[in-house]
Amino acid sequence: MPEADKTAIFEHLESEVRSYSRGWPATFTTASGSWIRDENGREYLDFFAGAGALNYGHNNPILKKALVDYIVGDGITHGLDMNTVAKRELLETIQHNILEPRNLDYKVQFPGPTGTNAVEAALKLARKVTGRESIINFTNAFHGMTLGALSVTGNSMKRAGAGVPLVHATPMPFDNYFGGVTEDFQWFERVLDDSGSGLNRPAAVIVETVQGEGGVNVARAEWLRALADLCARREILLIVDDVQMGCGRTGPFFSFEIAGIQPDIVTLSKSIGGYGLPMALTMFKRELDVWGPGEHNGTFRGNNPAFVTATAAIQEYWGAGSTLPEETLAKGETISNAFTKLADKFDGVSTRGRGLVQGLVFDDAENAGKVCKLAFDEGLLAETSGPSDEVVKLLPPLTVTNDELDQGLRILTSATEKVCS
């Protein structure tokens, strides 16, 4: 087939809304671990990892075995919120491996199987619990594409897609928004206290500990602690959206663990299913469980094959004595060191990140796109993020080997040198 024919149907039939396929004009067929292959047999190192949905790599053999056994045994595939053995095993595993060791007395809600569903459930619950409407979000936040989640998202292009007013949300400056010049939460506390500020008393604050889509903006542990304190003092619920940074992306299972805080509500999706299968969770403190039966539901909440791979992933990677967090931090350090060298060498280049989410930031935003394009030509998938797409964002699978990491970093280093010299 001539190359042009291979993509003709995508261009003819698939909506213009498609995006990743434009930056990576290949047609992919198979994948394993950190590698993805196209139909011409070309191999690419995947340092995008499903936008963080593939923390354990493509077709992880341990998870694949659990999934295949389950399917071959005619295990329940679609279960709504019926009790199933797969769901029982998942809940027991979450309780035993995740919640109990961290002293978290959370209840677990299964919303529809995407991150934005988990956020919608969190916002609705916060409003129902407090009887208040307004939500505080942060500059450059990303929480999803449905209207509630979009209302607390920063990106103006994505917001414009709503086509209706996005209301009941007020943005506050994220950590370091003013480059350390303004004291943290000065503005937030001021408008909370000032009866003339126009800010309605908020139901909740929603925050990412590291803003993935927003440009790899890292909140310091002390900033997160101060935020949690402020919320507790003012009886505002704290929602941590851990859809992208949870499941070990920054090291610990929950990204907020480094701050020693216990959010009121936590959202998880992306890598919680483990295998890249759709799944999401909204977790909250036991006393916040004011839902009535069926008050927030959805047809695909019971994606049991994802429960099976989620259970296998948590048992394999998040048992007692797991070394995954340390390995993630060490690999993150390797990326950070390579990026620091580039930042030292070239003006207008800097770096930031935590664990295995690392960003290479270009003052000249176009350069980030150029680096990603060159990297793709050399066989590496990496995406840009940030309000102007000025950040090359690396999200390799947590299971990436040191050799693969070195190989990917060589490609990125040479791409950056070409673009910046």
Ligand X SMILES: *Cc1c(COP(=O)(O)O)cnc(C)c1O
Contacting residues toward ligand X, per CB under 6 A: 114-116, 119, 142-144, 208, 212-213, 241, 243-244, 269
Instruction: Considering the complex, state which of residue 268 and residue 338 has its C-beta at the smaller distance from ligand X.
Output: 268
Instruction: Considering the complex, state which of residue 146 and residue 388 has its C-beta at the smaller distance from ligand X.
Output: 146
Report, in Å, the least distance between residue 19 CB and ligand X: 12
Report, in Å, the least distance between residue 212 CB and ligand X: 5
Instruction: Considering the complex, state which of residue 243 and residue 360 has its C-beta at the smaller distance from ligand X.
Output: 243
Report, in Å, the least distance between residue 351 CB and ligand X: 20
Tokens 């506390």 belong to which residue?
189
Strand residues in 280-356 grouped as ranges (E): 281-285, 349-354
Report, in Å, the least distance between residue 105 CB and ligand X: 24
Report, in Å, the least distance between residue 136 CB and ligand X: 16
DSSP 212-237: TTTTSEEPPHHHHHHHHHHHHHTT-E
Instruction: Considering the complex, state which of residue 175 and residue 241 has its C-beta at the smaller distance from ligand X.
Output: 241
Instruction: Considering the complex, state which of residue 137 and residue 336 has its C-beta at the smaller distance from ligand X.
Output: 137
Instruction: Considering the complex, state which of residue 241 and residue 390 has its C-beta at the smaller distance from ligand X.
Output: 241
Instruction: Considering the complex, state which of residue 60 and residue 267 has its C-beta at the smaller distance from ligand X.
Output: 267
Tokens 């039966």 belong to which residue?
293
Burial 128-156 (b: 16+ CB within 10 A, else e): bbbebebbbbbebbbbbebebbbbbbbbe
Report, in Å, the least distance between residue 171 CB and ligand X: 15
Q: Say whether 371 sits in a helix, a strand or coil.
A: helix
**All residues at 6 or more sequence positions from 295 whose CB lies less than 8 Å from its CB, including other chains:** none
Q: Say whether 210 sits in a helix, a strand or coil.
A: strand
DSSP 112-148: SSSHHHHHHHHHHHHHHHH----EEEETT----SSHH
Instruction: Considering the complex, state which of residue 142 and residue 174 has its C-beta at the smaller distance from ligand X.
Output: 142
Report, in Å, the least distance between residue 119 CB and ligand X: 6
Tokens 């917001």 belong to which residue?
159
The Cα–Cα gap between 258 and 325 comes to: 11
List Cα–Cα distances, 153 to 137, 158, 273, 420, in angstroms: 7, 8, 24, 32
Count Cβ atoms below 10 Å from residue 319 Cβ, excluding itself.
13
Report, in Å, the least distance between residue 243 CB and ligand X: 4
Instruction: Considering the complex, state which of residue 52 and residue 192 has its C-beta at the smaller distance from ligand X.
Output: 52
- Looking at residue 222, its amino acid is E
The span from the first CA to the last CA of the chain, in angstroms, equals 39
Residue in the shown chain whose Cβ atom is closest to ligand X: 115
List Cα–Cα distances, 323 to 172, 213, 271, 327, in angstroms: 36, 27, 18, 6
Report, in Å, the least distance between residue 379 CB and ligand X: 25
Handedness of CA 95, 99, 103, 107 (dihedral sign): negative
Tokens 């069926």 belong to which residue?
294
Q: Which structure tokens are listed for 174?
A: 């994220």
List Cα–Cα distances, 318 to 153, 271, 275, 361, 412, in angstroms: 31, 13, 15, 32, 31
Instruction: Considering the complex, state which of residue 251 and residue 415 has its C-beta at the smaller distance from ligand X.
Output: 251
Report, in Å, the least distance between residue 258 CB and ligand X: 17
Query: Apex CA 205: angle with CA 152 and CA 263, to 5°?
Result: 125
